[in-house]
Amino acid sequence: MNLYLIFALGFFAQALFFARTIAQWFKSEQEGKVISPAIYWQISLLGSITMFTYGVLRNDIAIVVGQTFVYLIYIRNLQLKNAWNQMHIILRVLAILIPLSYIGWLIFGNSHTMSEIANNEEISFFWKTWGITAQITFSFRFVYQWIFSEKEKDSVLPLGFWIISIIGSLMNFTYSIIRLDPVIFAAHSLGMFIYLRNILLHYGKGSILTKMNIPILNRTFKKISDKIK
For the residues 138-143, what does the mean pLDDT come to?
90
206 torsion bin: left (phi>0), alpha (psi -120 to 50), beta (else) = left
Please write down the long-range contacts of 40-46, taking CB distance under 8 Å and 24 or more positions apart: 41/74, 41/75, 41/77, 41/78, 41/81, 41/83, 41/155, 42/78, 42/83, 42/87, 43/16, 43/17, 43/19, 44/17, 44/20, 44/74, 45/71, 45/74, 45/75, 45/78, 45/95, 46/16
- CA 114/CA 56 separation, integer angstroms: 8
Q: Looking at residue 218, what is its pLDDT?
A: 60
Q: What is the DSSP letter of 154?
A: S
Residue 81's CB is within 10 A of a number of other CB atoms, namely: 20
- What span, in angstroms and rounded, lies between the C-alpha atoms of 99 and 67? 10
Read off the pLDDT of residues 157-181 as tens digits, 9 standing for 90 and up. 999 999 999 999 999 889 888 888 8
| pLDDT confidence of residue 84 | 94
Confidence of residue 208 (pLDDT cuts 50, 70, 90): low
Measured CA to CA, the distance from residue 33 to residue 52 in angstroms comes to 31
Given a cut of 70, whether residue 15 has pLDDT beyond it is yes
- Give the Cα separation of 134 and 153 in Å (integer): 29
Q: Which amino acid is at 162?
A: W
Between 121 and 70, name the one with better pLDDT.
70
Please state, in angstroms and rounded to a whole number, the distance separating the CA atoms of residues 9 and 146: 28
Q: Which of 64-68, 141-145, 198-202, 221-225 has the highest mean pLDDT?
A: 141-145
> Average pLDDT for residues 151-156, to the nearest whole number?
91
Global pTM? 0.77
Integer Rg of the chain from CA: 18
| Structure confidence at residue 193 as a pLDDT band (50, 70, 90) | confident
Nearest to 140 by CA among 114, 120, 109, 162: 162
Q: Rounded to an integer, what distance in angstroms lies between the CA atom of residue 229 and that of residue 227?
A: 6
Q: Residue 216 has what pLDDT?
A: 62
Q: What does the alpha-carbon distance between residue 18 and residue 29 come to, in Å, rounded to a whole number?
A: 16
3-class secondary-structure state, position 169 = helix
Percentage, residues of the chain above pLDDT 90: 31
* Mean pLDDT rounded to a whole number for the chain: 83
